[in-house]
Structure 1
Amino acid sequence: MTTEENHQAFEKDFGNNSDGVSGGAPTHQLSADETARAAARFGYGPLAQVNTAEAQLRPFGGEFQPGLYKSVEHRKFGNPAPLGLSAFALTTFVLSAINMGARDIREPNIVVALAFGYGGLVQLLAGMWEMAVGNTFGATALSSYGGFWLAFAIVLTPGGFEIGKALGGAGTPQFDDSFGLFLFGWFIFTTILLVCTLRSTVAFFLLFFFLDLTFLLLGIGYLHRTSEGKPNPPIIKTGGFFGLLAAFAAWYNALAGIADNSNSFFIVPVAHFPWSPTGRSRKTARETV
């Protein structure tokens, strides 16, 4: 359907007759609230059919925004969220696969290049652009995880900052304890962000839920070592598994932010919680109709 056909269909279903009964020929233009309800009814994303600069868009992982936000119709910048999500996803995917023992790779040093260049620098830049477009949550999250990957790369850089050497070398109790505390700090931070996604979409919530479990399990794996004093392999592998889930959830949200009617034959479903603004508006629309 074209934009004009969609608008006519919206007016047919959500316009009011002169006698006040829903349906039939409308006698007024759709308000911002009616347009939002119509978009929810027809299953489009939060950027579809936004006709006023004052409209409040729904929470959306593709914009890395868990709360209501202003229309982006007249925004001068593109959406930086898919770039940051993709940078996070690829770096997390590689490290998590290594943590799971893929191809018997025992050292994660290949991640250093990704952590500096893509997961670190590119994600940090995406976070700064989120600040420019007015998305505080996106700026905080993407910039912070960009900093995480830079810090991770600094720790693992061979012969660079000698952090591991100062702690006795990788695999020693002092290094593992320090790294476990490092991971637990990120677990706490991710839990804070997770709370902010509870009224968003299921896809957005699952990204932070899987990531939270990843940090928790990896932190436990480094602190709760085996009898030989090594990080606990089953717990590390489990953390790697949830890291893979977090990576694919990030890619999914990135696709949801990139795909629209101009470049895709379909809109990626993100599933809204029934208590979210979109879930409530859909319930109201069904009750009204």
Structure 2
Amino acid sequence: MATTEIAKETGVSKALANPGPLGLAGFGITTIVLSSINAGLLPHEAVPVVVPLAFAYGGVAQIIAGILEFRTGNTFGMVAFTSYGLFWWWFAFLQWTIGAGWLKAPPASAVAVTLLAWGVFTFLLWVVTFRSNRAVWSIFLLLWITFFFLGFGDFGCTIGGVRCGAIGGWLGLLTGVDALLVAFVEVLNATWGRTVIPLGKPILG
């Protein structure tokens, strides 16, 4: 597929780079690291590693991607990347201010409600992705389920003796890996100037 055809499919001008892979990579790597903690693969003491990563790559990189998506006329990309970039800033500021003693740790129920609100927001964006490619659709499917499990986990929910938060951690790992792979495929296709690996047709054509 020619570069111009790829540009038409993605809505990105031929003269502009696609900012999507940057946002997906920033989201994917930060999600993988935090989810490793939520899943129990890393100890809770590893959270300080996530904070600067959430500021810099998960936060700044996605906000930049969102601004660039605005430039390309991609409303969905602008809303998604900017929103999740600022989500990572929320997480980083929360951990930083509590760790510095500037704020008291909030009750788990407050964090749970916040995560569930993000789950609802992500679910609504997932509905929009039925007109996007299946790769992006799968990321948002995994993500809204992840948010709900993490939210219910902070309410103390368990399934079969397993903490919902831990299940959310494993789902988050899948989400992060999925996002990272989609970023790789988009860079690969753009670099080769043709569709080397297809991302799948929209579910609703």
Q: TM-score range by the shorter chain?
A: 0.7 to 0.9
Find the partner of 1:117 among 56, 59, 65.
56
Higher helix share: 2
Asked if the contact 2:35–2:169 (Cα under 8 Å) also holds between the matched residues in 1, the reply is yes
Unaligned ranges ≥5, structure 1: 1-43, 64-68, 227-231, 277-289
Q: Does 1:95 align with 2:34?
A: yes
The alignment's C-alpha RMSD in Å is 2.5
Match of 2:25 in 1: 86
Q: Does 1:235 align with 2:201?
A: no
Asked if the contact 2:23–2:81 (Cα under 8 Å) also holds between the matched residues in 1, the reply is yes
CA 1:139/1:275 → structure 2, altered by over 3 Å: closer, same or farther? closer
Map 1:59-208 onto structure 2 (within 5 A): 63=10, 69=11, 72-73=13-14, 75=15, 77-103=16-42, 105-107=43-45, 108-157=47-96, 158-160=98-100, 162-163=102-103, 165=104, 169=105, 175-208=107-140
Larger RCO (alpha carbons 8 Å, 6+ apart): 2
Q: 2: CA distance between counterparts of 1:84 and 1:182?
A: 22
Task: Give the CA deviation at 1:256.
Answer: 2.2
Scaled by the length of structure 2, the TM-score of the pair is 0.87
Task: Give the CA deviation at 1:57.
Answer: 3.2
Percent pairwise identity: 34
Equivalenced residues, count: 201
CA 1:266/1:274 → structure 2, altered by over 3 Å: closer, same or farther? closer
Find the partner of 2:5 among 13, 25, 50.
50
- Which has the larger Rg? 1
Paired residue type of 2:30: T
Task: Give the CA deviation at 1:233.
Answer: 5.7
Scaled by the length of structure 1, the TM-score of the pair is 0.63
Following TM superposition, the consecutive aligned residue runs of length 4 or more in structure 1 with deviations greater than 6 angstroms are none
Asked if the contact 1:255–1:268 (Cα under 8 Å) also holds between the matched residues in 2, the reply is no
Paired residue type of 1:246: T
